[in-house]
Structure 1
């Protein structure tokens, strides 16, 4: 029987979000209903609200979440009612050419729930990244649920659902940071700081954090950056080179998603070094690089999809490292809020004073 819950809906481009009654259907084949316990306020949700992703309004926002499986549909074997799970937005198919080549983190046919959640009048909602977790309950594909240790707090576990995993994975998986490497991270929001953490976890000898905000740089140093560069007063390319013997960093992770910072990343890497783009650009953005420089500098220019993670592998591993005290995922939680506070949290995100606001349900 369908259930009615409270959820945060973006009704139209740049309109304030509203608390609406959301109708959640019973799970169909391959689907699960999850009782959401915590959901981080991610910049991607703001992109949806601003119309920067697409115009399939109204959106049910929220995607960086953890909760408990309440019910499952026919054919679901990977999770069961009562399981504590982190939600992910790339449920792999297991059948596409990437999956069959043993690279499921590149799955080209990821999927979501087939049924739609709606408003009371029947208006279909588009769930953010196929999740829609700024709601008391949500309907997802069962493959979007990853079981993790239930001893970890939901506000910490949920962060792996997007930003923290994207940053850690950009360093560990996409950038292949190795022991003794030098790494520069441009942009020290939640994703950038997670990339700093990932670089230290991989054994990087030098981790250089770059931002225009001194408070963000201080937080990056707490997370594990060995050096900081204030690019509002320094040329970041020259600063990174000076900190790496004049050569540039082995891996530069761009966590902003803008042409000018991508160009900085390109020229701040060593010869044969790697650039990783994990910041999300908008559709109109373009870059203009010398093709001769692209050829002559060698190395690799990579984009990081969700930190190239495999949730079934990476989420439990990172939760275990957190519980062992080897990484502090809790450092990314700046504040906990309620559903009614999401619009204000978007404002604080603009001000740059938070890594993550987390909605608790």
Structure 2
């Protein structure tokens, strides 16, 4: 609510970057905590849980004081700034295109929005390279660092060009190349070059971390009204976390070190992500064209209280590609 649609990707990257930094420094921290093995009678992995758990708790407690209130209720904003933000958001969304009341009709619009469900589907390699577990933690650091830089560049360009689809497909291509190489190469015992597999980690990690944040913001930027945007993000991110359950069942020890089932399933899902993103874009193009041809103008005849709560179903709203 503080930024226009095409100012959101770069800000979201800062949040997303926390995960990337955690991936990089988490490996370094785990490496350091490993050497606490035996201290106080605890194993190294126990110290990892204790220290990292405490950091998570402290971060969660600080959220109460760091997360900003809605603009209209923010005490640190003057009335003039609040009014300016309201006008900027109204201009960005188009005349109308709000959802300020969360009633039965609003919930029906939220839960029946095809755009939310289409993008639901958009989103231990290092350990198989022959390194020990602790070496794997250290070797994962450069992959997260490179991924953070690339994702930052993509976030800037996505906002600058007001475009999401092409960057999602770019991420799909990178990740697909990585998984294809993994599926086409044999295990280390058959002469596989360890550096090739390490390179693949960069392809897969960078590809996935390009596609995921862009897809999330792209969907959110096409949901107007803070209630619908909040509900859409919750559904998308919530269902997206199911991926962790799937991963734990497709990467089995019996499959090591090839992990054919795991890599094959991952490749299929990343390709499916590209297909669903294409369907999403096609749907937005068709809907924008219908609105340009004034085929949705009958909605303007609705009662004013209904029209004010149409969200992006308001025919004056245009979707972002």
* TM-score class normalised by the smaller sequence: under 0.3
- TM-score, structure 1 as length reference: 0.21
Larger-Rg structure:
2
More relative contact order in 1 or in 2 (CA 8 Å, sep 6+)? 2
Which structure: greater strand fraction? 1
Which structure: greater helix fraction? 2
- TM-score, structure 2 as length reference: 0.23
